[in-house]
Amino acid sequence: MLIAAGLGSFSTGLFCYNRTTSAPEANDRLTPIYATREDLEKAVNEIRHLLGDDGISTDDEDLQAHGYSEWSSINIDRLPTAVAYPSCTEDVAKIAKICHKYKVPMIPYSGGSSVEGHFSASFGGVSVDFMNMNNIVEFHPEDMDIVVQPSVSWMDMNDKIKDTGLFFPVDPGPPARIGGMIATNCSGTNAVRYGTMKDWVINLTVVLADGRVIKTRKRPRKSSAGYNLNGLFTGSEGTLGFVTEATLKLAHIPEETGVGVATFPTMRDAAKAAIQVIHQGIPVGAVEILDDVQMDVINRMGGTGREWKVLPTLFFKFSGTHVGVMDDINGVCRIVQAHGGSDFEFEHDKTKQIALWSARKEALWSMMCLRTSGNEVWSTDVAVPLSKVPDLVEISKKDLQELGLFGSMLGHIGDGNFHETILFNGDREREMVTKCVHDMVHRALDMEGTCTGEHGVGLGKKQFLEEEVGKDSLHVMRTIKTALDPHWLMNPGKILDP
Amino acid sequence: MLIAAGLGSFSTGLFCYNRTTSAPEANDRLTPIYATREDLEKAVNEIRHLLGDDGISTDDEDLQAHGYSEWSSINIDRLPTAVAYPSCTEDVAKIAKICHKYKVPMIPYSGGSSVEGHFSASFGGVSVDFMNMNNIVEFHPEDMDIVVQPSVSWMDMNDKIKDTGLFFPVDPGPPARIGGMIATNCSGTNAVRYGTMKDWVINLTVVLADGRVIKTRKRPRKSSAGYNLNGLFTGSEGTLGFVTEATLKLAHIPEETGVGVATFPTMRDAAKAAIQVIHQGIPVGAVEILDDVQMDVINRMGGTGREWKVLPTLFFKFSGTHVGVMDDINGVCRIVQAHGGSDFEFEHDKTKQIALWSARKEALWSMMCLRTSGNEVWSTDVAVPLSKVPDLVEISKKDLQELGLFGSMLGHIGDGNFHETILFNGDREREMVTKCVHDMVHRALDMEGTCTGEHGVGLGKKQFLEEEVGKDSLHVMRTIKTALDPHWLMNPGKILDP
């Protein structure tokens, strides 16, 4: 792959405004033009002066690691010019001031596990890697909240606080870190019970495009004071500001948990059973659907220490009091049987629960491991209203088969959120996968759904946003972006274009 | 009270921009100047032409009812010029286009039960009353959501759908309607279990300042696609756009419910017991604190058919399965006893539950009924981190007593949300109440809390917002407001000033 790197990426240093007539209240539309090569060099030198030699890198390997992702559905032929490593909010603010002065794009980077090209350097510029900002700043068990920096891993954090009986319930992929989790409004298997990232943010410290630092709120668990900036910055993918600190709500570790697994003759049966569980109001901790291909892949990778039936499978988490969990399991068991499910297995013992859940946990990783030389992976998600899930799952499965693509299906089905992971090799197959994914997105939108339930828009889903929210909603988003970041310096090219 | 009404409210019809230097990225600050008397008349005539004579009123009584509230902590000496009664989104869009053309302020009105002057006509203009938009548009039990117009009452809605086993769990004051509930990001007693209004919005149809109509999303229960406009418009108090339709999530009616009541020697004891319940993770449906004054008022009004102990009191709601509810009650009972609580009463029977909860339900109404001629009422709320609640409650109680004011205290204490309702008469007492409320707000902010947990900012809390969120966060809010409503036509004077 040919990638333009280093200080070679530049443009003319002019700003160009075009009047548009596309909306009744049209603003002057901006075509941002970024720093000249000379100004870019000045900016990098100033950041080096600020952070020292260890605080900024222009090594090819670093640029590659911050501009390309093997997890991503999309990569581009451009890399950042430099990678900065701030240690505190003040550093980030100073970097932003420098970039603002020279009109240099800034791209935030934390866990690097996003899948829609979120940290691609669409216009070059400086990747801001928060790896040195990975501390728990304050922990208030008495208030059930925690203050963290953006590179804190949610898994490490939960490990550190577990003895207090509290935990953070949003559970995206293991490599995810708080900064990116906020940026994408991520969720995970627990969302059906606990909601998504935006529901757990108490306040954010944000560095704006011009280097000003704001804190969205103090520390109340609820508030009706002023615009909900938490809700606006969460999910904005670093395009409105960089989160440098976050106060997050915590939940109680349930008294008891359980894991259950059942297989079904068809994906439609499994999907219908899962939806019925939600319809009956059984408060499951999670309900996940995996297709036969995915189960086969897990078997082939052999990481779970057992042989699974190669059938559509539902995985359940249960949590609550002992009696509550037993109650919920009985309810789920009845529904599973009524939908042709069989072999309902349940584990109460903690260690055995982990073993039983391991197949679900290994799902994406197993697909990644299957890649051979030249193989690429495309992982995508959509979400639809609950009642549409069985149709979506069935049609998408058929589509994959008809195209002859090797892909597995998996869903946080209790939220109507559904994933496909497809392996491919070469341009012809990439074209087929593209069609398959685009068809699934259009199908989801036709069903009144969304082009992404939890992965975010990034570069990969940008083309669907107007179809999803409409031209005028997109114009509102663009108006907000331009108002807060007039030069489109923050993660430009993601979510929407000027 | 002298109130300037009718077409007499006007200004010069010029727009005046002042450059400010207060923020590094300062926009041109706007001093909006609204329609001339002539233009206002033209606007009213055009709206009359659009909606017919029944669709717009300039009767004094209507203007008074839409510009003054006996519930509110604040009223101003100005009324709207006219009240418009649209019947559909298209009507609202046309009204907005007319008001936009002539630079006429627009103020949304639904339940009229807000308490911080939210529907005051700070700059005159047209009050837009949604009373004719009170329909359930679509109901999708299979997707667990409902599409409603802004004047739908949450209580009526729940009554209509109850046979499906679903309900809408956000429970502010009985007169509240969906439009205002969204505008203030309201909550209520159920928030400790179910969250606040913003957590239940799937999409919004919004009329913007220039009359464009947007729909924020399609109908997925979760999404990471683009900026979270639901979260931005919810709680924006009609200053960014008017909500004309909303799709709301619904929850399952719990299998079983219960109500419990216990009294305590002091407010601190009661508060500490409540916080302990939350700390232990007992999933109560609600936990409410009422002080001795409030209990006495309820007795004096006699609306509940029994005599209550005049002591600090906690009211609990329980919900879940039969076994779960019994479990939770046992847990709460132990905590109550450990904190000096006594007379823990519990009701399982539906009718008796309603009787037991009646004291909590009658609380505000009882205070309102106590007013004699000339009496006014000031109802206010703040919220703080959980561990600060006992201090806040105790100091605020002492403050009220020392000032010799007649006020009662009540709190959604599981969220750290706390209310005072104070009766007063005349200017001297108004001054005392003002000091008392302002002291409570500053105390809450010092404790890292918020000036309002659920009532909203409106006119009454505007002066505290900068202290709460900081100058630059307020500037971000102002930037968003100006970007979306450049002429400051939508509910101007609320939340923030240009």
CATH number assigned to the domain comprising residue A76: 3.30.465.10
Tell me: pLDDT of A26 over 80: no
Statement to judge: residues B381 and B267 lie in one domain: yes
> What is the C-alpha to C-alpha distance for residues B298 and B292, in angstroms, rounded to an integer?
10
**DSSP assignment string, B376-441:** EEEEEEEE--GGGHHHHHHHHHHHHHHHT-EEEEEEEGGGTEEEEEEEE-HHHHHHHHHHHHHHHH
In a domain, residue A19? The reply is: no
> What is the C-alpha to C-alpha distance for residues B448 and B427, in angstroms, rounded to an integer?
31
DSSP, collapsed to helix, strand or coil, labels residue B260 as: strand
Chain B residues touching residue A226 (CB < 8 angstroms): 235, 457, 465, 468-469, 473-474, 477, 495-496
Provide the pLDDT for residue B47.
Answer: 98
The rounded Cα A80 to chain-centroid distance in angstroms is: 21
Q: B150-166: per-residue pLDDT in tens?
A: 999 999 999 999 999 99
Minimal C-alpha gap between B259 and chain A (Å): 19
Statement to judge: residues B179 and B123 lie in one domain: yes
Confidence band, pLDDT 50/70/90 cuts, at residue B204: very high
Statement to judge: residues A211 and A345 lie in one domain: no
Minimal C-alpha gap between A413 and chain B (Å): 11
Chain A residues touching residue B324 (CB < 8 angstroms): 320-321, 323-324, 327
Minimal C-alpha gap between B289 and chain A (Å): 17
Enumerate residues 6+ apart whose C-beta is below 8 A from A180: A108, A110, A111, A112, A113, A114, A118, A150, A186
> What is the C-alpha to C-alpha distance for residues A166 and A144, in angstroms, rounded to an integer?
7
Closest CB to B214 among A198, A254, A473 = A473
CA nearest B110: which of B160, B170, B181? B181
Q: B1-37: per-residue pLDDT in tens?
A: 333 333 333 332 333 333 333 344 444 567 899 999 9
For range B370-382, the mean pLDDT: 89
> What is the C-alpha to C-alpha distance for residues B68 and B5, in angstroms, rounded to an integer?
11
Enumerate residues 6+ apart whose C-beta is below 8 A from A24: B210, B211, B212
In a domain, residue A4? The reply is: no
Statement to judge: residues B327 and B268 lie in one domain: yes
Provide the pLDDT for residue A277.
Answer: 96
Interface ipTM: 0.94
> What is the C-alpha to C-alpha distance for residues B216 and B247, in angstroms, rounded to an integer?
10
Statement to judge: residues B429 and B297 lie in one domain: yes
Q: Are the CB atoms for A285 and A171 separated by under 8 Å?
A: no
Statement to judge: residues B357 and B431 lie in one domain: yes
Total domain count for chain A?
2
| Stretch among A199-213, A369-383, B85-99, B377-391 having the lowest mean pLDDT | A369-383
CA nearest B185: which of A247, A231, A235? A231
Q: Are the CB atoms for B408 and B293 separated by under 8 Å?
A: yes
For range A94-107, the mean pLDDT: 98
CA nearest A106: which of A234, A206, A202? A206
Statement to judge: residues B331 and B382 lie in one domain: yes
Beta strands in B120-200 (DSSP E): 126-129, 136-140, 145-148, 166-167
CATH number of the domain that residue A346 is part of: 3.40.462.10
Closest CB to B224 among A185, A327, A474 = A185
Statement to judge: residues A271 and A160 lie in one domain: no
Nearest CA in chain A to B239: A227
For range A364-375, the mean pLDDT: 84
Which two structure tokens, joined as six digits, stand for B73? 């902590």
Enumerate residues 6+ apart whose C-beta is below 8 A from B477: A226, A227, A229, B469, B495, B496
Chain B residues touching residue A464 (CB < 8 angstroms): 225
Minimal C-alpha gap between A76 and chain B (Å): 21
For range B335-348, the mean pLDDT: 93
Minimal C-alpha gap between B212 and chain A (Å): 7
Closest CB to A468 among B140, B225, B477 = B225
CA nearest B261: which of B186, B164, B329? B329
Chain A residues touching residue B186 (CB < 8 angstroms): 224
Q: B224-261: per-residue pLDDT in tens?
A: 999 999 999 999 999 999 999 999 999 999 999 999 99
* C-beta atoms of A450 and B217 within 8 A: yes
Provide the pLDDT for residue B366.
Answer: 87
Confidence band, pLDDT 50/70/90 cuts, at residue A12: very low
Chain B residues touching residue A227 (CB < 8 angstroms): 232, 235-236, 240, 477, 480-481, 495
* C-beta atoms of B385 and A226 within 8 A: no
Tell me: pLDDT of B63 over 70: yes
Chain B residues touching residue A453 (CB < 8 angstroms): 220, 222-224
In a domain, residue B24? The reply is: no
In a domain, residue A11? The reply is: no
Q: Is A126 left (phi over 0), alpha (psi -120 to 50) or beta?
A: beta
User: Bridge-partner residues for A148, per DSSP?
Assistant: A136, A246
Q: B74-124: per-residue pLDDT in tens?
A: 999 999 999 999 999 999 999 999 999 999 999 999 999 999 999 999 999
Minimal C-alpha gap between B303 and chain A (Å): 31
Nearest CA in chain B to A478: B227
Higher pLDDT, A241 or B302: A241
* C-beta atoms of A235 and B228 within 8 A: yes
Minimal C-alpha gap between A306 and chain B (Å): 34
For range A437-453, the mean pLDDT: 98
Statement to judge: residues A234 and A380 lie in one domain: no
Provide the pLDDT for residue A333.
Answer: 96
Enumerate residues 6+ apart whose C-beta is below 8 A from B431: none
Statement to judge: residues A110 and A247 lie in one domain: yes
For range A330-343, the mean pLDDT: 95
In a domain, residue A16? The reply is: no
Minimal C-alpha gap between B467 and chain A (Å): 10
> What is the C-alpha to C-alpha distance for residues B122 and B77, in angstroms, rounded to an integer?
9
CA nearest A473: which of B226, B301, B179, B57? B226
Chain A residues touching residue B479 (CB < 8 angstroms): 483-484
Percent of chain B with pLDDT over 70: 94
* C-beta atoms of A224 and B185 within 8 A: yes
* C-beta atoms of B212 and A24 within 8 A: yes
For range A169-183, the mean pLDDT: 96
DSSP, collapsed to helix, strand or coil, labels residue B263 as: strand
For range A302-322, the mean pLDDT: 92
* C-beta atoms of A469 and B225 within 8 A: yes
| Angle, helix B350-370 to helix B292-301, in steps of 10 degrees | 90
> What is the C-alpha to C-alpha distance for residues A486 and A94, in angstroms, rounded to an integer?
18
Closest CB to A221 among B144, B320, B416 = B416
Chain B residues touching residue A474 (CB < 8 angstroms): 226
For range B41-55, the mean pLDDT: 98
Chain A residues touching residue B475 (CB < 8 angstroms): 212
0.80 exceeded by pTM: yes
Minimal C-alpha gap between B305 and chain A (Å): 34
In a domain, residue A484? The reply is: yes
Closest CB to B214 among A444, A457, A472 = A472
Which one of A181, A208, A222 would you mutate to disrupt binding with B, by most B Cβ within 10 Å of its Cβ?
Answer: A222
Provide the pLDDT for residue A338.
Answer: 97
Q: If you count residue pairs, one on A and one on B, with CB atoms under 8 Å apart, how many are there?
A: 317
Domain of residue A317, residue span: 256-460
Question: How many CA atoms lie less than 13 Å away from B153 in the CB half-sphere?
Answer: 11
* C-beta atoms of B450 and A142 within 8 A: no
Provide the pLDDT for residue A9.
Answer: 34
Statement to judge: residues B175 and B313 lie in one domain: no
> How many helices and strands (H and E) does chain A possess?
15, 20
> What is the C-alpha to C-alpha distance for residues B323 and B337, in angstroms, rounded to an integer?
21
Q: Are the CB atoms for A433 and A425 separated by under 8 Å?
A: no
Statement to judge: residues A333 and A197 lie in one domain: no
Q: Are the CB atoms for A373 and A314 separated by under 8 Å?
A: no
In a domain, residue A471? The reply is: yes
For range B53-75, the mean pLDDT: 95
**Alpha-carbon separation of residue A59 from A5, A122, A130, B385 (angstroms):** 10, 19, 17, 46
Provide the pLDDT for residue B3.
Answer: 37
> What is the C-alpha to C-alpha distance for residues A110 and B142, in angstroms, rounded to an integer?
39
In a domain, residue B213? The reply is: yes
Closest CB to A224 among B195, B224, B453 = B453
Total Cβ atoms within 10 A of residue A161? 18
Enumerate residues 6+ apart whose C-beta is below 8 A from A359: A261, A290, A295, A298, A304, A308, A313, A315
Tell me: pLDDT of A11 over 50: no
From first CA to last CA, the distance across chain A in angstroms is 28
